[in-house]
Amino acid sequence: MDNLPDYAPDPQKSRSLPVPWYPKVTGYRLLVIVLTAAFGLSKALVSYNGRTFVPITIEWVYGVVVSLALYWLGLYETTYPELFPRLFEKDYAKAIRRGLGSWYLSPTTDWQKRRSPALLTPYRVLVTGSVVGLGLTKAVFAYAGYSTVPTTLDWVSGTFASIG
């Protein structure tokens, strides 16, 4: 243990620290979620209004400008998060939980305090069920001759999957 540098954490202290069950919800991550939702919803709305050039323009702007900006911000998140502490270090999960109120699951339930992950969780059942359900629904509508319903389901599920 004498050869460890000064900045190395004490192994005894790190074992006793509580590990949160949720990832940090930083300003940067909220920004990614909001921009992704705005991109998906705006592109879907404009496409269904019969526009052809606007969705392509939205895709180019989001795909190039916004993605590059988020990429550069992501580099700051991993290398110099202290430069923008409200964007990269502050955890907004408690504020979001307070804002959602009783609709959101309380973070103090017993299954969330466990250290070993469960094999079958409600979240995994929800994700698997939604993927199977959306896939079957798309297949039924596609074989029935409805071309816009599968496309709508793709956009909606793709937007929510990338957010969530």
pLDDT in tens for each of the 164 residues of the chain? 455 444 444 555 555 556 555 678 899 989 988 888 888 888 888 888 878 788 888 888 888 888 888 888 888 888 888 888 899 989 888 888 787 765 655 555 554 455 555 567 777 788 788 778 888 888 888 888 887 887 787 777 777 776 76
The percent of the chain in helix, strand and coil, each rounded to the nearest 5, is 70, 0, 30
The domain in which residue 98 lies consists of: 22-105
A 10 A CB-CB count for 58 gives 19
Please state the pTM of the whole predicted model.
Answer: 0.56
Q: Look at residue 35 and give its three-state secondary structure.
A: helix
pLDDT at 28 (0 to 100): 92
What's the structural domain count of the chain? 2
72 domain-assigned: yes
16 domain-assigned: no
- Are 127 and 93 in a shared domain? no
Q: Report how far residue 99's alpha carbon sits from residue 96's, in angstroms, rounded to the nearest whole number.
A: 5
Q: Report how far residue 49's alpha carbon sits from residue 45's, in angstroms, rounded to the nearest whole number.
A: 6
- Are 98 and 122 in a shared domain? no
- Are 40 and 92 in a shared domain? yes
Tokens at residue 51, please?
């526009």
- Are 34 and 85 in a shared domain? yes
- Are 89 and 126 in a shared domain? no
